[in-house]
């Protein structure tokens, strides 16, 4: 009985119920929403957000924040295009180099956060501008105009997005699922994951226990940058075009997914399962609203409302002072009146 009660009060359970409600509501309003192929097709462009949110979770558990991932997506995309189209490299060699570049971008920002003590918001904001500028600089190395982008990629590369499992599930979703498993094991089943949580709970205590907290914090930003590069490659394969500004609009959806998933902005608590479910919930919400006629320029409004409402409810449910206040009121209301 206690196990059932614990399961019911878990935040992940609420997120699953939220997704179920979305399917019931949007499936009733528009039967197209329940078409599996159409649903996965609509989710394809949001999979990069889902992937990045998994590893931004690591960063936020340590008490940091990463708002540069969208810029690394664009830098990865245009780097793959230029290395293949203009440098003449094999497309998969170009992807490998872009992955290394993304990890280095994340590690660079992580170094400044961990070893200089500069606020993560300031560092990653600067990183966002830096990597966006680098993406534009790389695009100028191409013989193609920057606004046109680079296209006509090999079919073997496009297969990353075109291949479907069981003739329905796109390869991007399969990769996302595998990354969920990998990130879950890394964060919740390894000594490294325990160090990440300890850095967020009490960094001084973690240092006294012999943990190299600076290296751990730096590594979380490196993983975040690497995940942004993976997302950039998958998005480029899906759209068939490499552009410097790709992913520029992903910053807010990524942070929304992580916070909505239950990761504290103060660090020390959270999990990748919550982030994955929250990212899918936001993605399904956007798809459902689009199918029911809401213009894409207004999609961020309901997402923002969802974030504010759910986080407020979560805060109210976990805040000791509020729980004590409501408990006192219930006891007072239930107390028998004399006379």
Q: How far apart (Å, rounded) are the C-alpha atoms in residues 266 and 244?
A: 32
Higher pLDDT: 304 or 174? It is 174
Cite the beta strand spans of the chain per DSSP E.
164-165, 169-170
| pLDDT tens column, 29-49 | 888 888 887 788 778 888 999
CA 135, 139, 53, 42 dihedral sign is: positive
Residue 320 counted as domain residue: yes
Range of the domain at 12: 2-332
Q: How far apart (Å, rounded) are the C-alpha atoms in residues 99 and 86?
A: 18
| pLDDT tens column, 92-133 | 999 999 999 999 999 999 999 999 989 999 999 999 999 999
Residue 337 counted as domain residue: no
- The pLDDT of residue 219 is 96
| pLDDT tens column, 248-284 | 888 888 988 999 898 887 888 889 999 999 999 988 8
The answer on pLDDT for 204 being more than 80 is: yes
Residue 216 counted as domain residue: yes
Considering only CA atoms, which of 187, 182, 177 is closest in space to residue 59?
187
Quote the mean pLDDT of the chain.
85
| pLDDT tens column, 62-84 | 999 999 999 999 999 999 999 99
Residue 338 counted as domain residue: no
Between helix 47-61 and helix 213-239 the angle, nearest 10°, is 170
Residue 19 counted as domain residue: yes
The answer on pLDDT for 216 being more than 80 is: yes
CATH classification of the domain holding 283 = 1.10.3470
Residue 301 counted as domain residue: yes
Number of domains in the chain: 1
Considering only CA atoms, which of 319, 256, 198, 310 is closest in space to residue 46?
256
Residue 339 counted as domain residue: no
Do the beta carbons of residue 88 and residue 245 sit within 8 Å? no
Q: How many CA atoms lie within 13 A of 136 on its CB side?
A: 7
Residue 293 counted as domain residue: yes
| pLDDT tens column, 168-199 | 788 889 999 999 999 999 999 999 999 999 99
The pair of structure tokens assigned to 168 is 């329905």
The answer on pLDDT for 339 being more than 50 is: no
């Amino acid at each position: 009985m206690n196990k059932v009660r614990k399961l019911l009060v878990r935040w992940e359970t609420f997120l699953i119920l939220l997704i179920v409600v979305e399917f019931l509501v949007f499936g009733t309003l528009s039967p197209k929403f329940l078409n599996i192929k159409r649903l996965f097709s609509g989710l394809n462009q949001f999979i990069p957000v889902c992937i990045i949110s998994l590893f931004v979770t690591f960063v936020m558990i340590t008490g940091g924040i990463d708002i540069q991932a969208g810029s690394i997506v664009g830098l990865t995309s245009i780097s793959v295009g230029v290395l293949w189209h203009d440098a003449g490299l094999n497309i998969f060699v170009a992807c490998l180099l872009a992955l290394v570049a993304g990890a280095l971008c994340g590690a660079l920002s992580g170094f400044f956060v961990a070893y200089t003590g500069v606020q993560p918001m300031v560092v990653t904001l600067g990183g966002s501008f830096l990597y966006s500028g680098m993406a534009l600089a790389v695009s100028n190395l191409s013989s193609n105009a920057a606004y046109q982008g680079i296209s006509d990629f090999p079919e073997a590369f496009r297969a990353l997005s075109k291949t479907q499992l069981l003739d329905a599930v796109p390869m991007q979703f399969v990769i996302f699922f595998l990354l969920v498993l990998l990130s879950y094991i890394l964060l919740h089943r390894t000594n490294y994951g325990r160090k990440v949580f300890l850095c967020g709970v009490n960094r001084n205590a973690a240092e006294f226990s012999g943990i190299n907290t600076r290296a751990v914090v730096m590594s979380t930003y490196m993983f975040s940058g690497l995940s942004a590069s993976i997302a950039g490659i998958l998005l480029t394969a899906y759209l068939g075009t490499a552009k410097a500004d790709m992913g520029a609009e992903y910053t807010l959806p990524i942070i929304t997914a992580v916070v909505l998933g239950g990761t504290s902005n103060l660090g020390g608590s959270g999990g990748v399962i919550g982030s994955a479910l929250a990212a899918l919930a936001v993605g399904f919400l956007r798809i459902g609203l689009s199918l029911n006629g809401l213009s894409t320029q207004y999609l961020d409004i309901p997402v923002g409302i969802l974030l504010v409402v759910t986080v407020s409810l979560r805060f109210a449910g976990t805040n000791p002072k509020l729980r004590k206040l409501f408990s006192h009121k219930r006891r007072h209301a239930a107390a028998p009146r004399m006379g």
